[in-house]
């Protein structure tokens, strides 16, 4: 398959990489827009992008990026509605500062941790990863974050910790989808410890060089690029180290359709549709889906000898 070499993020023009609200703001100001009273009094004109200087990660893939508008406009985040456009419309109501994460279970240093403290001194990387949804669409996103293993190891999980569960915030007053029902809240997800500690597993705090938009799981979410998107839980407030395989939302909803492992696998179909191909958002044609979403070389060993049709 011939692939056109894709542009590196730093070769893309500013209008493409700058989150739109900032870009618009800058443009308006450059045009000397004075209509909005007070706008010209904003200190420092446009806020600098939070992760503009993130180090480029060697774990990045070299593929065309999905546009900022698609990454932030076509989402799954049921706390803000079940439609793909709902989160972009409705997630602005979420307050993401201050933010804390409660860490419990099989670890030597449980406690409640302030996000600012957790981020202190962290080297933020840019990693271009695919996100592939179980509904057979995919995106290529320049995430900003750091290895989840960094965060997890700071709590000193014990040898009893075989799995880790993640939990999303539930705040009815700010989450219209929570008020409507549709899923049992909180949204929970989990990984086996070796999956969680794998260097590809990312604690994401930004995308396209800036902080995460609310609809993408602000202020901190998981990204597990070789698994279906539902594993990549958003707006995390709880982490629990467990001996036993933890409960996960979609597996509880329909275990026949959504397994705990949820590794991207073109050979194992969803009971209601094929997983052999996918449509990259922005493309017209479908493309063949790759084993482990193309990360086989990195993660294949984690599943050596496992029957992946049984442990889907």
Chain residues 73-112 in contact with ligand MTE, contact rule CB under 6 A: 75-79
| Nearest residue (CB) to ligand MTE, 88 versus 107 | 88
Burial code of 153-179, b = ≥16 C-beta within 10 A, e = fewer?
A: eebebeeebbbbbbbbbeeeebbbbbe
| Nearest residue (CB) to Mo ion, 133 versus 151 | 133
| Nearest residue (CB) to ligand MTE, 106 versus 278 | 278
Smallest gap from residue 244 Cβ to ligand MTE (A)? 22
Query: Does residue 216 touch ligand MTE according to CB under 6 A?
Result: yes
| Binding map of ligand MTE across residues 160-199, x = CB under 6 A, - = no contact | --------x------------------x------------
What is the Cα 5 distance to its own chain's centre? 25
Smallest gap from residue 16 Cβ to ligand MTE (A)? 18
Query: Does residue 131 touch ligand MTE according to CB under 6 A?
Result: yes
Chain residues 93-152 in contact with Mo ion, contact rule CB under 5 A: 133-134
| Binding map of ligand MTE across residues 5-44, x = CB under 6 A, - = no contact | ----------------------------------------
Query: Does residue 230 touch Mo ion according to CB under 5 A?
Result: yes
CB 224 within 8 A of CB 128: no
What is the Cα 194 distance to its own chain's centre? 19
Smallest gap from residue 217 Cβ to Mo ion (A)? 12
| Binding map of ligand MTE across residues 224-253, x = CB under 6 A, - = no contact | -----xx-xxxx------------------
| Nearest residue (CB) to Mo ion, 12 versus 136 | 136
Q: Which residue is nearest to ligand MTE (CB)?
A: 229
Candidates 72-80, 168-176, 199-207, 293-301; binding stretch for Mo ion (CB under 5 A)? 72-80
Candidates 10-18, 62-70, 214-222, 230-238; binding stretch for Mo ion (CB under 5 A)? 230-238
Task: Note the residues at the interface with ligand MTE (CB under 6 A).
Answer: 75-79, 131, 133, 168, 187, 216-217, 229-230, 232-235
């Amino acid at each position: 398959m011939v692939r056109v070499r894709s542009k590196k993020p730093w070769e893309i023009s500013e209008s493409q990489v700058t989150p739109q609200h900032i870009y618009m703001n800058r443009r308006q100001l450059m045009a000397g827009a004075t209509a909005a009273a007070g706008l010209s009094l904003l200190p420092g004109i446009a806020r600098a992008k939070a992760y503009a200087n993130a180090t480029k990660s060697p774990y990045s893939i070299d593929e065309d990026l999905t546009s900022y508008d698609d990454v932030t406009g076509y989402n799954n985040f049921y706390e803000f509605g079940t439609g793909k456009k709902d989160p972009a419309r409705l997630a602005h109501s979420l307050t993401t500062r201050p933010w804390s994460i409660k860490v419990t279970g099989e670890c030597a240093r449980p406690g409640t941790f302030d996000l600012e403290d957790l981020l202190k001194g962290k080297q933020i990387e840019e990693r271009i990863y695919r996100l592939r949804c179980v509904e057979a669409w995919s995106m290529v996103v320049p995430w900003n974050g750091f290895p989840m293993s960094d965060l997890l190891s700071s709590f000193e999980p014990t040898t009893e910790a075989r799995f880790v569960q993640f939990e999303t915030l539930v705040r009815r007053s700010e989450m219209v989808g929570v008020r409507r029902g549709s899923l049992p809240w909180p949204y929970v997800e989990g990984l086996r410890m070796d999956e969680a500690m794998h260097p590809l597993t990312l604690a994401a705090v930004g995308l396209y060089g800036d902080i995460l938009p609310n609809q993408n799981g602000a202020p901190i979410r998981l990204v597990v690029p070789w698994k279906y998107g539902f594993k990549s839980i958003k707006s995390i407030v709880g982490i629990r180290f467990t001996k036993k395989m933890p409960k996960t939302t979609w597996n509880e909803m329909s275990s026949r359709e959504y397994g705990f492992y949820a590794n991207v696998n073109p050979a194992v179909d969803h009971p209601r549709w094929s997983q052999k191909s996918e449509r990259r958002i922005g493309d017209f044609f479908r493309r063949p889906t790759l084993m482990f979403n193309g990360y086989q070389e990195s993660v294949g060993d984690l599943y050596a000898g496992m029957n992946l049709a049984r442990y889907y």
